[in-house]
C-alpha cells in the first residue's frame, strides 16, 4: 500500500473522480442491459457487440467528415436498426415457440454477439484505430486538483441521458407500456398495449443507449477496436447484477461502484489486476445476494 | 422433411459394429499413411477439440447450463502442467493429474456461487472467470512468466520413449485419451447421476421436487467438466510445447460451444463429428479462414432457430423402455425437442 501522504490523498481523490466518470459509462451500458431484461426477462448477450458496432459506425462517419453531431445521430439510427433487427429476425421467432426464453435465446444472443464482433473485424480490420477526442476542452483546475474536461463531459452526458431514460420509462405512455409488458405480457396485450411495438421500441432505445456509451468510451480512451465491447460488456453486466438487474437506479449505482472500486484498485494494487475487479465483485454479489442491492425477492429463482 | 429422414435412420446393430471396427482400424493406422506431419497435427487438434466438446457436453448437454469458460479451465490445466513440468521437472503423467485436479478445484470455486442461478448469470460468470484467469496468467510473472509464456514444455515419455508428433505418439495419446473421455461420458450418461442431470435440464423445479439435489449435482457435473477441460489443456500444452495467456481466448470457448450445439447437446458421437467438421473446415476451405468465426456464430444462431437438438441430437439414443401398454409420445409433440427449449 502506498504511504499515507498528502500526495497519496490527492491521488485517491483523482482515482475516485476517474472512477465516477468511467462508472457512469458502465452505468449507461448496464441500463441498456436492464432495459431489455426489464421488458423481456432475457439477458441481451449481444449488447456488447452492438456497442462495438456503434463505436465503429461513429468512427466511420467522423472519418467521412460528417461532423460530430450528424455522425452520432446517423449512428444512433443505424445501430438502433441493428438492435431491432436482432430482435426481429432472431429473437421474435424463438419467442413464438413455447418456452423460448431459456437456453435457445441465450445461445442465439451469444452467436449474434460473435457474428457482429467478427463482422467488425472483417469490415474495419482488427487493429486498434485512433478516435479523435472531440469532447476535450483542456484541463480544468478546481481546488488544487487537475481534472480532465473529458471526464466532466462524460459525467454530464451520462446524467442527462439517464434523466431522459427515466423520463421515457416513468413519464410517457410508451414507458407505461414497457412497465406493463414487464409485469404481465398477456394482461398488457389485453389492456391495449401494443406488445410487439413496445419490444421493438425497447430494442431501439437500448441500441441508442449503446451508441452514446460507445461515443463516450471511444472519446475517453481514443481507441476503437472490434473486441472493445467484450470487457466493457461484461463489466457493465456485473454492474447491472450488482444493482439488481432490471432496476434502472440500481444499475446506475452498480456502475458507479464498479467504476470507483476499479480505479481505486489501480491505486492500491497496480494496473495489472484492474480487469479482474468487476468479476470478483460479480462473484461476491452472486454468492451473497443474487438479486442485487435493490433487487426484490423474486418468486421464481433468478 | 427429407433431412429429418436422413438423420433419423437407425442402423442395425451388426452394421454399426462393422462400421465401428473399420473406423477404429482407420484411426489406429492413420499415422502410417499420412501425407505429412501437418495432417497428423490437425488430426490431434481435432481430437483435443473433441475432448473439450465432450467436457462441455457434460455441463451444457446433459445438465443444460451454458458455459463460456471452457478455455479458462483448459488454461488452468495447461499452466499447472507446464509450471510443474518446466520448473519442477515433474513427469507428464503426475503433472497431468495435478493439472486436472487444479482445474477441478477452479471449477468447484466458480460453480459453487454461480450454479445456484440460471442461464445468463452463469454465462457472464464463466466469461468473467476467463478474464480473471488471463489477468492472473499475465501478472503472476514468477510462476507463469507473464506475457512471454512458458516455453519448452515436456512431451510425455513412456518407458524412455518420447512421444512426439513425428513418430505419431502424440496422436496415439490423444486417441487413448479421447477413448477414455468417451467412456467417461457414456458412463455418466447411463448412470443415476446422468439421469439426474437430464432431469435438471428438462425441469429443474420438478427434479428438485423429485428429490434430486440440483445444486450439488450441477456443481459435480461442472467439476468433472472442468477436470476434463483441464486435461485437454495438458494435452494441448504438450502438443504445442508453448503456452501464453492469449492462447486460451473466448474464441476458443465459443468454438467449443459451437461444436456442442452443432453436434447436438447430450449426444456423444455428435461431439466427435462436430469437432471433425468444424475444426477441419477452415483447413480445407482456406478461403473461408477469414470468415470462420462468423460461420461459427451463424451456426449457433441457425441451429437454435431450426434444429435446437443439433445435427445428431436425439438420433443415436435408444428409446427408454416403457412398460407394456404405455404409449410413447413422439418427439415432434410438445414444445422443445429433446427437452431443449
The reported pLDDT for the residue numbered B329 is: 58
| Cβ–Cβ gap B341/A104 under 8 Å | yes
A-contacting residues in B 100-159 (Cβ below 8 Å): 110, 112-114, 116-121, 123-125, 127-129, 131-132, 134-136, 138-139
Of A93, A122, A302, the CB nearest to B118: A302
Mean pLDDT, residues B232-236: 93
CB contacts of B144 in chain A (<8 Å) are none
Mutate to test the interface with B, among A44, A286, A287, A289 (most CBs of B within 10 A): A286
The answer on pLDDT for B312 being more than 80 is no
The segments of chain A whose pLDDT lies below 50 read 1, 299-302
Distance from CA of B113 to the nearest CA of A (A): 5
B-contacting residues in A 197-236 (Cβ below 8 Å): 230-231, 234
The reported pLDDT for the residue numbered B2 is: 57
pTM, rounded to two decimals: 0.84
Decide the pairing of beta strands B157-158 and B161-162.
Answer: antiparallel
C-alpha to C-alpha distance for B2 and B7, rounded to whole angstroms: 9
Of B66, B293, B341, the CB nearest to A98: B341
Cβ(A54)–Cβ(A22) below 8 Å = no
Beta bridge partners of A141: A146
Beta bridge partners of A142: A145
Q: Does B336 touch chain A (CB under 8 A)?
A: yes
Outline where B247-307 has alpha helix (H).
250-263, 268-284, 292-306
- At B64-120, the pLDDT tens digits run 888 888 999 999 999 999 999 888 888 888 899 999 999 999 999 888 888 777 677
The DSSP code sequence of A224-235 is E-TTHHHHHHHH
Class of domain A6-125+150-288 as given by CATH: mainly alpha
C-alpha to C-alpha distance for B119 and A102, rounded to whole angstroms: 7
At B129, is the pLDDT very low, low, confident or very high (cuts 50, 70, 90)? confident
The reported pLDDT for the residue numbered A141 is: 75
The answer on pLDDT for B333 being more than 80 is no
| Cβ–Cβ gap A110/B257 under 8 Å | yes
| Cβ–Cβ gap A272/B135 under 8 Å | yes
- Mean pLDDT is highest, among A72-76, B292-296, B312-316, for A72-76
In whole numbers, what is the pLDDT of chain B averaged over residues? 83
The reported pLDDT for the residue numbered A8 is: 72
Mean pLDDT, residues B141-162: 80
Q: Which of A210, A211, A161, A200 is nearest to A177 (CA)?
A: A200
Mutate to test the interface with B, among A118, A245, A282, A300 (most CBs of B within 10 A): A118
The reported pLDDT for the residue numbered B232 is: 94
At B183, is the pLDDT very low, low, confident or very high (cuts 50, 70, 90)? very high
| Cβ–Cβ gap A273/B68 under 8 Å | no
Contacts of range A178-186, beta carbons closer than 8 Å, 24 or more positions apart: A178/A38, A178/A39, A178/A202, A179/A38, A181/A39, A182/A38, A182/A39, A182/A246
C-alpha to C-alpha distance for B78 and A175, rounded to whole angstroms: 51
| Cβ–Cβ gap A111/B124 under 8 Å | no
Q: Does A264 touch chain B (CB under 8 A)?
A: no
The answer on pLDDT for B211 being more than 90 is no
Q: Which of B238, B310, B184 is nearest to B45 (CA)?
A: B238
- At A6-41, the pLDDT tens digits run 667 777 888 888 888 889 999 999 998 888 888 887
C-alpha to C-alpha distance for A79 and A49, rounded to whole angstroms: 10
Q: Does B290 touch chain A (CB under 8 A)?
A: yes
Predicted complex: ipTM over 0.95: no
C-alpha to C-alpha distance for B146 and A264, rounded to whole angstroms: 23
A-contacting residues in B 253-282 (Cβ below 8 Å): 254, 257, 261
CB contacts of A301 in chain B (<8 Å) are 116-118, 204
Q: Does B249 touch chain A (CB under 8 A)?
A: no
Distance from CA of A127 to the nearest CA of B (A): 15
What are chain B's domains? 2-339 (1.10.3470)
The answer on pLDDT for B5 being more than 70 is no
The reported pLDDT for the residue numbered A78 is: 93
Q: Which of A168, A169, A193, A166 is nearest to A181 (CA)?
A: A193
C-alpha to C-alpha distance for B277 and B263, rounded to whole angstroms: 10
Mutate to test the interface with A, among B304, B309, B310, B336 (most CBs of A within 10 A): B304
C-alpha to C-alpha distance for A300 and B17, rounded to whole angstroms: 47
Grid cell locating A167: 423520463
CB contacts of B64 in chain A (<8 Å) are 103
The residue written with cell numbers 495438458 in the block is B234
- At B19-70, the pLDDT tens digits run 888 888 888 888 777 777 888 888 889 999 999 999 999 998 888 888 888 9
Q: Does A272 touch chain B (CB under 8 A)?
A: yes
Q: Which of A6, A59, A8, A22 is nearest to A148 (CA)?
A: A22
Q: Does B304 touch chain A (CB under 8 A)?
A: yes
C-alpha to C-alpha distance for B241 and A123, rounded to whole angstroms: 34
The DSSP code sequence of chain A is -----HHHHHHHHHHHHHHHHHHHHHHHHHHHHHHHHHHHS---TTHHHHHHHHHHHHHHHHHTT--HHHHHHHHHHHHHHHHHHIIIIIIHHHHHSTTTTSHHHHHHHHHHHHHHHHHHHHHH-SSPEE---TT---EEEETTEEEEHHHHHHHHHHHHHHHHHHHHHHHSHHHHHHHHHHH-HHHHHHTT--HHHHHHHHHHHHHHHHHHHHHHHHHHH-EE-TTHHHHHHHHHHHHHHHH-TT-HHHHHHHHHHHHHHHHHHHHHH-GGGHHHHHHHHHHHHHHH-TT-SSPPPPSS--
| Cβ–Cβ gap B131/A275 under 8 Å | yes
Q: Does A92 touch chain B (CB under 8 A)?
A: no
Distance from CA of A39 to the nearest CA of B (A): 16
C-alpha to C-alpha distance for B328 and B211, rounded to whole angstroms: 25
Amino acid at each position: 500500500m502506498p504511504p499515507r501522504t498528502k500526495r497519496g490523498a490527492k491521488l485517491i481523490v483523482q482515482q475516485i473522480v476517474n472512477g465516477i466518470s468511467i462508472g457512469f459509462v458502465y452505468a449507461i451500458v448496464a441500463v441498456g442491459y436492464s432495459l431489455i431484461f426489464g421488458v423481456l426477462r432475457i439477458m441481451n448477450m449481444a449488447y456488447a457487440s452492438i456497442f462495438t458496432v456503434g463505436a465503429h459506425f461513429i468512427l466511420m462517419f467522423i472519418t467521412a467528415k460528417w461532423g460530430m453531431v450528424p455522425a452520432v445521430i446517423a449512428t444512433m439510427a443505424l445501430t438502433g436498426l441493428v438492435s431491432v433487427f436482432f430482435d426481429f429476425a432472431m429473437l421474435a421467432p424463438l419467442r413464438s415457440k413455447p418456452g423460448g426464453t431459456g437456453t435457445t435465446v441465450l445461445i442465439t444472443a451469444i452467436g449474434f454477439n460473435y457474428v457482429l464482433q467478427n463482422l467488425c473485424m472483417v469490415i474495419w480490420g482488427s487493429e486498434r484505430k485512433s478516435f479523435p477526442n472531440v469532447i476535450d476542452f483542456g484541463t480544468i483546475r478546481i481546488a488544487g486538483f487537475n481534472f480532465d474536461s473529458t471526464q466532466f463531459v462524460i459525467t454530464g452526458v451520462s446524467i442527462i441521458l439517464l434523466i431522459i431514460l427515466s423520463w421515457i420509462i416513468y413519464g410517457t405512455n410508451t414507458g407505461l407500456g414497457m412497465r406493463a409488458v414487464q409485469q404481465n405480457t398477456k394482461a398488457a396485450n389485453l389492456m391495449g398495449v401494443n406488445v410487439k411495438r413496445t419490444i421493438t421500441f425497447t430494442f431501439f432505445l437500448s441500441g441508442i443507449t449503446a451508441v452514446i456509451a460507445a461515443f463516450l468510451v471511444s472519446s475517453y480512451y481514443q481507441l476503437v477496436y472490434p473486441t472493445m465491447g467484450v470487457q466493457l460488456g461484461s463489466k457493465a453486466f456485473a454492474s447491472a447484477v450488482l444493482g439488481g438487474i432490471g432496476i434502472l437506479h440500481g444499475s446506475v449505482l452498480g456502475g458507479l461502484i464498479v467504476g470507483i472500486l476499479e480505479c481505486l484498485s489501480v491505486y492500491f494494487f497496480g494496473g495489472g489486476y484492474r480487469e479482474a475487479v468487476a468479476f470478483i465483485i460479480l462473484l461476491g454479489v452472486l454468492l451473497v445476494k443474487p438479486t442485487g442491492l435493490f433487487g426484490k425477492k423474486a418468486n421464481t429463482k433468478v | 422433411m427429407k433431412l429429418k429422414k436422413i438423420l433419423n435412420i437407425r442402423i442395425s446393430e451388426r452394421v454399426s459394429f462393422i462400421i465401428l471396427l473399420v473406423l477404429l482400424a482407420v484411426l489406429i493406422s492413420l499415422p502410417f499413411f499420412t501425407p505429412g506431419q501437418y495432417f497428423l497435427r490437425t488430426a490431434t487438434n481435432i481430437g483435443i477439440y473433441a475432448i473439450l466438446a465432450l467436457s462441455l457436453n457434460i455441463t451444457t448437454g446433459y445438465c443444460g447450463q451454458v458455459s463460456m469458460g471452457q478455455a479458462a479451465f483448459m488454461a488452468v490445466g495447461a499452466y499447472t502442467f507446464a509450471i510443474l513440468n518446466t520448473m519442477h521437472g515433474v513427469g507428464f503423467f503426475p503433472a497431468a493429474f495435478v493439472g486436472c485436479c487444479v482445474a477441478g478445484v477452479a471449477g468447484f470455486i466458480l460453480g459453487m456461487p454461480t450454479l445456484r442461478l440460471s442461464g445468463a448469470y452463469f454465462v457472464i460468470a464463466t466469461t468473467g472467470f476467463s478474464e480473471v484467469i488471463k489477468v492472473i496468467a499475465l501478472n503472476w510473472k514468477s510462476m507463469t512468466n507473464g506475457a512471454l509464456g512458458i516455453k519448452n514444455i515436456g512431451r510425455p515419455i513412456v518407458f524412455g520413449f518420447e512421444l512426439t508428433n513425428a513418430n505419431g505418439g502424440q496422436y496415439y495419446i490423444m486417441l487413448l485419451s479421447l477413448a477414455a473421455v468417451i467412456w467417461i461420458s457414456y458412463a455418466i450418461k447411463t448412470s443415476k447421476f446422468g439421469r439426474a442431470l437430464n432431469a435438471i435440464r428438462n425441469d429443474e423445479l420438478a427434479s428438485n421436487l423429485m428429490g434430486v439435489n440440483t445444486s450439488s449435482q450441477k456443481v459435480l457435473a461442472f467439476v468433472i467438466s472442468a477436470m476434463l477441460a483441464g486435461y485437454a489443456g495438458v494435452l494441448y500444452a504438450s502438443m504445442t510445447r508453448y503456452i501464453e495467456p492469449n492462447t486460451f481466448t473466448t474464441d476458443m470457448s465459443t468454438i467449443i460451444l459451437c461444436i456442442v450445439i452443432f453436434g447436438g447437446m447430450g449426444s456423444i458421437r455428435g461431439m466427435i463429428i462436430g469437432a471433425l467438421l468444424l475444426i477441419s473446415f477452415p483447413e480445407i476451405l482456406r478461403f473461408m479462414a477469414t470468415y470462420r468465426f462468423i460461420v461459427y456464430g451463424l451456426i449457433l444462431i441457425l441451429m437454435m432457430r431450426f434444429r435446437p437438438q443439433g445435427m445428431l441430437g436425439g438420433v443415436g439414443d435408444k428409446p427408454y423402455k416403457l412398460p407394456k401398454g404405455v404409449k410413447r409420445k413422439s418427439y415432434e409433440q410438445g414444445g422443445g425437442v429433446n427437452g431443449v427449449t
